[in-house]
């Protein structure tokens, strides 16, 4: 009996684990919001004379919206998707990741769906990562990132007050 008393007291001192639900509510980016972000990025770059592609991925890395401006090179769609993929994987701006982890950049560039270049930004709604936008085609990743940031700024209220 004495042998059971100590383990029982220890077990009773820990709070019971809360039961986890079988189905989890998850924030997901809508097609409409993804479309608006992609179009906003293309329009922002177009206003500066750049022909780009913009791709918005959902939180799982699936393409939700993809737009290629009329004169943007065909490879820009794939690069934009891979930039967004880098932001989904890391949860941060792809340019920030590039600066912080240049040591593993060559290896990551060989992973399907990722590229470590500026121009991919995470999309957050009410604090949750719901996707990422990638832009490619401007003369420099910093310009791609600026167009993506401009698009996110246009929908800032929609993201901030998402429930």
CB 145 within 8 A of CB 95: yes
1 assigned to some structural domain: no
With both helix axes pointing from N to C terminus, report the angle between 141-154 and 31-46 in degrees, rounded to the nearest 10: 130
**Which tokens in the block code for residue 70?**
């009329």
13 assigned to some structural domain: no
Residue 89 structural domain: 28-160
Mean pLDDT of 20-48: 95
pLDDT averaged over the chain? 91
11 assigned to some structural domain: no
**Which tokens in the block code for residue 133?**
């936008």
The residues facing 1 across adjacent strands are: none
- E strand spans, the chain: 53-58, 63-68, 120-125, 128-136
Lowest mean pLDDT, pick from 82-91, 94-103, 114-123:
94-103
The model's pTM: 0.85
21 assigned to some structural domain: no
């Amino acid at each position: 009996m004495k042998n059971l008393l100590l383990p029982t007291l220890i077990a009773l001192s820990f709070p019971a684990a809360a039961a986890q639900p079988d189905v989890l509510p998850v924030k997901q980016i809508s097609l409409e919001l993804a479309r608006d972000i992609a179009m906003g990025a293309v329009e922002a770059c177009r206003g500066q004379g750049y022909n780009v592609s913009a791709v918005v991925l959902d939180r799982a890395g699936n393409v939700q919206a993809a737009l290629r401006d009329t004169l943007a090179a065909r490879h820009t769609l794939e690069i934009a998707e891979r930039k967004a993929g880098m932001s989904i994987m890391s949860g941060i701006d792809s340019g920030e990741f590039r600066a912080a982890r240049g040591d593993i950049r060559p290896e990551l560039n060989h992973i399907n769906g990722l590229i470590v270049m500026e121009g991919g930004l995470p999309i957050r709604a009410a604090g949750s990562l719901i996707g990422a936008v990638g832009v490619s085609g401007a003369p420099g990743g910093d310009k791609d990132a600026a167009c993506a940031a401009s698009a996110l700024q246009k929908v800032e209220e929609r993201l901030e007050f998402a429930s």
